Amino acid sequence: MDHYYWFALKSIPLVGNVTFRRLLERFDTPERALKASASELSTVKGVSAAAAASILTHDYRPFAERESEAVARHGVKVVDFLATEYPKVLLEISDPPPFLYVRGELHGVEDAVAIVGSRRASTYGLVTTERLAGELALHGVTVVSGMARGVDTAAHRGALKAGGRSIGVLGCGIDVVYPPENQRLFKEMAEKGALVSEFPMGTTPLAENFPRRNRIISGISRGVLVVEAVQNSGSLITARYALDQGREVFAIPGNINSSGSRGTNQLIKQGAKLVDGVEDILEELPQRSKVVAHADPLPSFSLTPQEAGIYTLLAESPLHIDDIIVKSELTVGDVSAILLRLELKGAVMQLPGKHFAIT
């Protein structure tokens, strides 16, 4: 699928992730949204007059052409949020990216746990990370991390050594290897798991990119394990995102005399689950405490823009059909038809009293 118009719409000033999704719910494709009239754009919920003017006047062609050429040149896949492979759990966060740049293979539905921690981890932290990542992989759980030095690198290596899957979420363009010493790991991740980024091709690893990357690390996972972290570190930002997104937060207890343990010990005091073995994590994953190693991927599904809109609403909480109609601003017939299609795809289920929830 050519994503020229996806790149184009994403490049428009004032069109963020939420506005992008609302435009697709109204116009079905980015191309139609870009060619919509001022009066049509004014009917889209949340599209300000300034955003509409930006869509009508911004010349998106240079960026979209460069991006399309760069993606083709580097052999990068673009997985948009309508695709079967797009992680459905990511649609549960408040501002999922409309598309991801991908090397390797994504699965639309899979059990995944993030492991994050210090770039300057102790030997204890690195050894513990690699062991737990390997044990999670042996139980069929995908290990997610940020490809940084220290704990992140140990997490990816531990999962791959055990023969499992690992996903690396980048704070730079997917064609940028950072840190440079992880060149070999990048290649192995693309072959045995996946590398993903929401940043355009060629984006350098600027400091402001990493908090945005962290929300994807937690958003793509069912839980986040923090191994070692100083206070006010990026790992604790990821843990806060996890809490906001309704994910589980786990922490490895550390030496009270070590500054690298203050963040994790603080998390435990605040209610994060103390982990001293892999079972502490597995028992918190939905329907999974004993798992066959390397089980087949769970069945997944693709979505239309309107189906994605209703799926995202239900990801926040189960809703009565009347509330879905009000929040989606669709007709009774449209909502009923969309819910039926989502049920047939196995994406949502009907609860007693005409309430609906994601499966």
Which residue ranges form the domains of the chain, and what is each CATH number? 1-72 (1.10.150), 104-282 (3.40.50.450), 305-358 (1.10.10.10)
Contact 31, 3 (CB under 8 A): no
pLDDT for 315 equals 85
Place of tokens 């918190």: 284
Secondary element (H or E) of residue 103: strand 99-104
pLDDT (0 to 100) of residue 359: 81
Contacts from 16-20 at CB under 8 Å and sequence distance 24+? 16/95, 17/95, 17/96, 17/97, 17/98, 18/46, 18/94, 18/95, 19/46, 19/47, 19/51, 20/98
**What is the spatial distance between Cα 252 and Cα 265, in angstroms, rounded to a whole number?**
8
Sheet of 223-226, strands arranged across: 77-80, 99-104, 194-197, 166-169, 142-145, 112-116, 223-226, 248-251, 273-274
Which residues does residue 244 pair with via DSSP β-bridges, in sequence order?
none
Query: Which pLDDT score, from 0 to 100, does residue 301 have?
Result: 87
Handedness of CA 266, 269, 271, 277 (dihedral sign): positive
DSSP H stretches of helix in 139-261: 151-161, 183-192, 209-219, 234-244
DSSP secondary structure of 315-351 = HHS-EEHHHHHHHHT--HHHHHHHHHHHHHTTSEEEE
Nearest to 72 by CA among 9, 167, 7, 169: 7
Q: Which residues of 309-342 are buried (b: 16+ CB within 10 A; e: fewer)?
A: bbbbbbbeeebebeebbeebebeeeebeebbebb
Averages of pLDDT over each 10 residues, the chain, 359 residues? 91 96 94 96 92 97 97 97 94 94 95 94 94 96 96 97 97 96 96 97 95 95 93 88 93 87 91 94 72 50 91 89 92 94 91 90
**pLDDT of the residue at 138:** 95
| pTM score | 0.88
